[in-house]
């Protein structure tokens, strides 16, 4: 069995490294890397489960008996297309809206919450805005500031947009 990581999909959440550190790591960057291409027999079940647990389906398996599962690759490609469509839709909406609607007047209050039932502790939010989000009390992100100061509001919006499980909720 061989394992690969789709670098275009990987969000560096640490699921792979936590489950099979002998095979996957995050040491050299923000996405997972394969340490050992040929998975040892004793780790095959763990690697299969890790592939299933990956929130963005970036961990791909090629079994000795069967080629890389085309269904998983198709799902991954569909997610890429969907994300690109959503980004384009958000940009078009932002282009149509007046500037004052997107950028409320200074001093406006923003509240951010993290739905712990949805949060997978991937760290995307903390990476985007560590002043507001923390994984210190893992496995879930927590919000450190309430309300959110103006200088962090755009970063919070970006963190919410990038959250793979849509666990971050924003109230303006």
Q: Identify the CATH number of the domain in which residue 28 sits.
A: 3.30.70.20
Q: Is residue 89 part of a domain?
A: no
Residues 118 and 56 in one domain: no
Q: How far is CA 82 from the centre of its chain?
A: 15
Whether the predicted pLDDT of 140 surpasses 60: yes
**111 neighbors 169 (Cβ within 8 angstroms):** no
Q: Tell me if 18 is assigned to some domain.
A: yes
Same domain, yes or no, for 111 and 67? no
Domain co-membership, 67 together with 111: no
Q: Can you name the residues that pair with 24 across neighbouring β-strands?
A: 34
Q: Are residues 105 and 58 in the same domain?
A: no
Both 152 and 114 in one domain: the answer is: yes
For residue 82, what are its two tokens?
């969907």
Residue 60, strand partner residues: 4
- Of 30-44, 63-77, 102-116, 146-160, the one with minimum mean pLDDT is 63-77
Flag whether 108 is in a domain.
yes
Tell me what pLDDT residue 104 has. Answer: 43
In a domain, 28, yes or no: yes
Top pLDDT among 65 and 62 is at 62
Mean pLDDT of 132-144: 87
pLDDT over 60 at 106, yes or no: no
Can you tell me the mean pLDDT for 47-74?
74
Domain assignment present for residue 145? The answer is yes
Average pLDDT over residues 32-49: 89
Do 67 and 107 belong to one domain? no
Q: What is the pTM of this model?
A: 0.46
Q: Are residues 110 and 63 in the same domain?
A: no
* 124 and 163 co-located in one domain: yes
135 and 141 Cβ atoms separated by less than 8 Å = yes
123: left (phi over 0), alpha (psi -120 to 50) or beta: left
The verdict on 151 and 107 lying in the same domain is: yes
Q: Is the pLDDT of residue 86 over 70?
A: no
pLDDT cut 70: percent of the chain above it: 74
- The per-residue pLDDT for 16 is 86
Q: Please check the confidence at residue 59 and state whether its pLDDT lies above 60.
A: yes
Question: Do 13 and 50 share a structural domain?
Answer: yes
**Structural domain contains residue 96:** no
**Is the confidence at residue 89, as pLDDT, over 80?**
no
The per-residue DSSP string of 14-76 comes to SHHHHH-TTTEE-TTSSS-EES-SB--GGGHHHHHHHHHH-TT--EEEE-SSSPPPHHHHHHH
* Domain of 157, in residue numbers: 101-171
pLDDT value at residue 76: 63
Residue 50 contacts by C-beta under 8 Å, 6 or more apart in sequence? 15, 16, 19, 20, 24, 59
Residue 121 maps to a domain: yes
Cis peptide before 139 (omega within 30 of 0): yes
Average pLDDT over residues 7-31: 85
The answer to whether residue 78 is domain-embedded is: no
Give the number of domains in the chain.
2
**pLDDT score recorded for residue 96:** 46
For the ranges 28-32, 72-76, 82-86, 144-148, which has the lowest average pLDDT?
Answer: 72-76
């Amino acid at each position: 069995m061989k394992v690969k990581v789709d670098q275009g999909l990987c969000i560096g959440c640490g699921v792979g490294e936590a489950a099979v550190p002998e095979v996957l790591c995050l040491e050299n960057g923000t996405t997972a890397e394969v340490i050992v291409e040929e998975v040892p027999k004793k780790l095959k079940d763990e690697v299969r489960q890790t592939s299933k647990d990956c929130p963005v389906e970036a961990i791909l398996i090629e079994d000795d008996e069967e080629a890389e599962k085309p269904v998983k690759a198709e799902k991954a490609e569909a997610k890429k297309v969907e994300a690109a469509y959503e980004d384009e839709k958000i940009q078009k909406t932002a282009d149509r809206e007046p500037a004052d609607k997107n950028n409320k007047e200074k001093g406006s209050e923003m509240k951010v919450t993290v739905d712990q039932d949805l949060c997978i502790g991937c760290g995307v939010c903390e990476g985007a805005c560590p002043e507001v989000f923390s994984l210190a009390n893992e496995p879930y992100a927590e919000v450190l500031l309430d309300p959110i100061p103006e200088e962090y509001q755009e970063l919070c919006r970006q963190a919410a947009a990038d959250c793979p499980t849509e666990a971050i909720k924003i109230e303006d």
